[in-house]
């Protein structure tokens, strides 16, 4: 693939991954109390504080990923975030109900795929069409 096509694909890929975090972050912002209740049910310490931490990571990280600034660091932050979220919210092994088991297993596996995409971003960076890429060429 030519470098211009590769750069375009990396930009589209970063935006696609960023949207996966941006939308839930905005939804949390619109439902602080409900999200804090859900976090408490999952067993997070200080759920009211954790909601704001999650919003900051999701919305702020998504913006940085779209801009392509500090991309590798943002990818590692998202990796940590997804691992914690997966282990707290998608414990499929705890369900005896077949439908719940299947739903949580599916979410767990989807998050593994997200981790794979984030590992690619962490390994290869943002590409040329990014603030990181511009900093390298100037």
Percent of the chain with pLDDT over 70: 99
Task: Give pTM, 2 decimals.
Answer: 0.93
- Do residues 44 and 35 lie in contact, with contact meaning Cβ atoms separated by under 8 Å? no
- What is the tens place of the pLDDT at every residue in 22-41? 999 999 999 999 999 999 99
Measured torsion, CA atoms of residues 77, 8, 112, 78, in degrees rounded to the nearest 10: 10
Q: What was the pLDDT predicted at 54?
A: 98
Distance separating alpha carbons of residues 25 and 61, to the nearest angstrom: 10
Q: What per-residue confidence (pLDDT) applies to 1? A: 78
H-helix or E-strand spanning residue 38: helix 32-42
The conformation of residue 59, written as its DSSP 8-state character, comes to I
Asked if pLDDT for residue 99 goes beyond 70, the answer is yes
Output the pLDDT for position 44: 96
Neighbours of 5 (CB within 10 A): 9
What's the mean pLDDT when you consider all of the chain? 96
Residues 6+ apart with CB under 8 A from 19: 62
- pLDDT at 56 > cutoff 80: yes
| Residue 138: pLDDT over 70 | no
**d(Cα 42, Cα 35) in Å, to the nearest integer?**
11
What's the confidence (pLDDT) of residue 85?
A: 97
Give the mean model confidence (pLDDT) for residues 83-101.
96
CA distance 38 to 51: 10
């Amino acid at each position: 693939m030519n470098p211009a096509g590769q750069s375009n694909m990396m930009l589209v890929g970063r935006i696609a991954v960023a949207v996966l975090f941006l939308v839930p972050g905005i939804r949390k912002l619109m439902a602080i109390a409900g999200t804090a209740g859900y976090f408490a049910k999952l067993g997070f310490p200080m759920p009211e504080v954790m909601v704001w931490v999650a919003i900051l990571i999701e919305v702020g990280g998504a913006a940085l990923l779209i801009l392509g600034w500090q991309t590798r660091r943002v990818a590692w932050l998202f990796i940590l975030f997804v691992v914690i979220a997966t282990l707290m919210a998608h414990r499929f092994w705890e369900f005896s109900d077949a439908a719940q088991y299947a739903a949580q297993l599916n979410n767990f596996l989807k998050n593994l795929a997200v981790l794979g995409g984030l590992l690619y971003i962490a390994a290869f960076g943002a590409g040329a069409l990014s603030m990181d890429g511009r900093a390298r060429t100037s």
